[in-house]
Amino acid sequence: MFQINDNYQKLPGSYLFSTIAKKVAAFTEANPDKRIIRLGIGDVTQPLAPAIIEAMHKAVDEMGDAATFHGYAPDLGYDFLRKAIVENDYKARGCEIEADEIFVSDGAKSDSANIQEIFAVNNRIAVCDPVYPVYVDSNVMAGRTGTYDSETEKWSDVIYMPCTAENHFVPEFPKETPDLIYLCLPNNPTGTTLTKSQLQEWVDYANKVGAVILYDGAYEAYISEKDVAHSIYECSGAQTCAIELKSFSKNAGFTGVRLGYTVVPKALKCNGVSLRDMWARRHGTKFNGAPYIVQRAGEAVYSAEGKAQLKDQVAYYMKNASVIKEGLKDAGYTVFGGVNAPYIWLKTPDQMTSWDFFDYLLEKANVVGTPGSGFGPSGEGYFRLTAFGTYENTEAAVKRIQAL
Ligand SMILES: Cc1ncc(COP(=O)(O)O)c(C=O)c1O
């Protein structure tokens, strides 16, 4: 008789956004006349920029001609894209990353879930609390997290680093020494970030204790403050302790197009074994490349027109962020984030739980957000709103909340 991977049975409840979708569906069915505004899931709403559409059209035409047709993409990604990434995301920022350290993929969700595979099962992971749920769940599936305590909503073998208003959302070095440290900066869900010197302290710590930092930079394009690093490789020593995960979803609206990349520096080794070579082996075995058309679209992100158009797109969402932030502040809410990230993290009023506030907002304002407790126990009493809606919807949602 076959046996299943029991670790899957340990996963508590359903995925956060499925629970939200079910609640919203039930409300809509009961109240068909109400117009709901969704500022919950971090999905973009603006269309792809013209420079990207143009590149995709051209690539589609190439695929229709035997002389320019492309089949399987090279394992690590096309050179044209990896070179554009190296030049723009690294060399331009003074980071010495080479094209053969870049692995093009279909996005940061899969990479951030899969990267744990190259580490031993008995490695201890440390995560910020609250956290993007994929990091913990993928380690649960791999059997790395121990047992779940539904009272504390914590796993016995996970090291939690609370990030709350009390510590200004800056994780502190944990008492127990971790092997793998997940850092997402700018942060989802809190919308806050670390300064470059605070990040440097984490790099120094990881090198000192022999840990690897799994650095998720999905929201890097939203950084507006000067003292914030755009890549962990801006910190000295990061090449020997950090893997960087990047996405084209939020900087270029590729949530439905699918493209990302992971950087594993050649200098990152464990007892002489290259993690870069391990990830190359894994990638070559389990992934058959992002589509040619999509990689050409990715290349256009780095063209002069692409850059200018995407700067405007990011500014559009950040204007929403400021509408939410200022609007809620005026209404008496305590708000965080929204300066270097498209998320606003607010304290629920009157000691409401995160889910109580979710229901309250859905029923009274017909606005959907995300309960902070869905991202981890330290998210209790907080709530996340995204700036990825349209400007009109964002403004309308804020007015509705102000009128409560
Ligand atoms: C922190 C973080 N990492 C990764 C992702 C997923 O990115 P992608 O669309 O490239 O899979 C998200 C999406 O919301 C995210 O918030």
For residues 199 and 236, membership in a common domain is answered with yes
For residues 275 and 349, membership in a common domain is answered with no
pLDDT of residue 91: 98
Neighbours of 218 (CB within 10 A): 25
- In this prediction, residue 350 has a pLDDT band, given cuts at 50, 70 and 90, of very high
CA of 331 to the centre of ligand 1 (A): 30
pLDDT of residue 17: 80
CB within 8 A of 78, min separation 6: which ones? 104, 292, 295
Show the domain range for 91.
53-304
CA of 218 to the centre of ligand 1 (A): 6
For residues 19 and 123, membership in a common domain is answered with no
- In this prediction, residue 16 has a pLDDT band, given cuts at 50, 70 and 90, of confident
Backbone torsion region of residue 13, taken as left when φ is above 0, otherwise alpha when ψ lies between -120 and 50, otherwise beta: left
Q: Is the CB of 184 under 6 A from ligand 1?
A: yes
Query: In angstroms, rounded to a whole number, what is the distance separating the alpha carbons of residues 256 and 273?
Result: 36
**Any idea what the CATH number is for the domain that residue 240 is in?**
3.40.640.10
pTM score of the predicted model: 0.97
Q: Is the CB of 216 under 6 A from ligand 1?
A: yes
What's the rounded mean pLDDT across residues 248-260? 98
pLDDT of residue 42: 87
For residues 251 and 111, membership in a common domain is answered with yes
Q: Over the stretch 300-337, which tens digit does the pLDDT of each residue have?
A: 999 999 999 999 999 999 999 999 999 999 999 999 99
Q: Is the CB of 320 under 6 A from ligand 1?
A: no
For residues 93 and 192, membership in a common domain is answered with yes
For residues 93 and 73, membership in a common domain is answered with yes
Query: What mean pLDDT is reported for the chain?
Result: 97
- In this prediction, residue 43 has a pLDDT band, given cuts at 50, 70 and 90, of very high
Place of tokens 């394992």: 75
- In this prediction, residue 236 has a pLDDT band, given cuts at 50, 70 and 90, of very high
pLDDT of residue 100: 97
In-domain check, residue 7: no
Q: Is the CB of 111 under 6 A from ligand 1?
A: no
For residues 78 and 172, membership in a common domain is answered with yes
For residues 23 and 125, membership in a common domain is answered with no
pLDDT of residue 18: 84
Q: Is the CB of 112 under 6 A from ligand 1?
A: yes
Query: Given a cut of 80, is residue 94 above it in pLDDT?
Result: yes
Q: Is the CB of 132 under 6 A from ligand 1?
A: yes
For residues 182 and 277, membership in a common domain is answered with yes
Place of tokens 């302790």: 241
For residues 116 and 64, membership in a common domain is answered with yes
Q: Is the CB of 40 under 6 A from ligand 1?
A: no
Q: Is the CB of 375 under 6 A from ligand 1?
A: no
In-domain check, residue 2: no
Q: Looking at 15-24, 112-121, 241-250, 299-308, which range is the least confident one?
A: 15-24
**Portion of the chain with pLDDT greater than 70, in percent:** 100
- In this prediction, residue 41 has a pLDDT band, given cuts at 50, 70 and 90, of confident
CA of 402 to the centre of ligand 1 (A): 30
Q: Is the CB of 252 under 6 A from ligand 1?
A: no
Instruction: Name residue 325's amino acid.
Output: K
For residues 183 and 211, membership in a common domain is answered with yes
In-domain check, residue 6: no
pLDDT of residue 19: 87
Q: Looking at 13-17, 48-52, 64-68, 372-376, which range is the least confident one?
A: 13-17
CA of 186 to the centre of ligand 1 (A): 12
Compute CA distances 387 → 14, 124, 199, 325, 359, whole Å: 25, 34, 25, 10, 20
Query: Given a cut of 80, is residue 358 above it in pLDDT?
Result: yes
CA of 272 to the centre of ligand 1 (A): 31
Query: In angstroms, rounded to a whole number, what is the distance separating the alpha carbons of residues 330 and 304?
Result: 39
Which of 304, 336, 359 is where one domain is finished? Answer: 304
Q: Is the CB of 90 under 6 A from ligand 1?
A: no
- In this prediction, residue 138 has a pLDDT band, given cuts at 50, 70 and 90, of very high
CA of 212 to the centre of ligand 1 (A): 20
Query: In angstroms, rounded to a whole number, what is the distance separating the alpha carbons of residues 174 and 129?
Result: 12
Place of tokens 């869900």: 189
Q: Is the CB of 241 under 6 A from ligand 1?
A: no
CA of 209 to the centre of ligand 1 (A): 28
CA of 342 to the centre of ligand 1 (A): 13
